[in-house]
Amino acid sequence: MNMPDVDRVEDMPDDYRPEPLGSLDDVIQKILVIIPEVDFKDRTWGMLDDDSFSIEFNMGSKEICEGFMMHVRGGGGVVPVIDHLLKELGLRAFDCQTGDFFTAASAEGSFAEWRAFRDRVISASRTEE
C-alpha cells in the first residue's frame, strides 16, 4: 500500500486515501520483473511456491489496482523476499501480524513467534496421539 511518511499506522491521518498503484496488468508486470517465479495464470491471485514458503498475491479484480494483500505461509527465508519486493516497488505495507508497518526486523521477530507457536501446537497434537 502506498502510505504517507509516518512511523506508525496510528499516526496516519484518518482521511488518508492512498493513490492507486496503477493498472492491474502494470502492477503484475512490475512484480514479475522482481520475482519472475510468481504464477499469475489467474491475474487476481498470484502464487509463489518456494521450497520453504509460499506467498499468495491477492490482487483483486479491479482494472485499477489500489493495493494487494500477500498471504504468507511456511518457514524461513520469506521476509527478505517481501522486503526486497516492497523496496523495489517503492511501497510500504501493513503487517497484519504486528498491526503496524512492515519492517524486515519486526517481521522476522513476529514470524519467529508464529513459527514457535505453530511448532508447539504440532508437538502438542502429536503427544495426544
pLDDT tens digit sequence for 63-90? 999 999 999 987 678 999 999 999 999 9
In whole angstroms, what is the distance from residue 28 CA to residue 20 CA?
Answer: 14
In whole angstroms, what is the distance from residue 4 CA to residue 2 CA?
Answer: 7
pTM confidence score: 0.83
Largest CA distance in the chain: 52
- Count up the domains in the chain and report the number: 1
Task: Quote the pLDDT of residue 4.
Answer: 66
| Assigned domain for 4 exists | no
Question: If DSSP codes are grouped into helix, strand and coil, which group holds residue 102?
Answer: coil
In whole angstroms, what is the distance from residue 105 CA to residue 110 CA?
Answer: 9
Task: Quote the pLDDT of residue 65.
Answer: 96
| Assigned domain for 1 exists | no
Domain region containing 45: 9-128
Reduced 3-state DSSP string for 6-27: CCCHHHCCCCCCCCCCEEHHHH
| Assigned domain for 25 exists | yes
- The whole-angstrom distance between residue 101's C-alpha and the CA centroid of its chain comes to 11
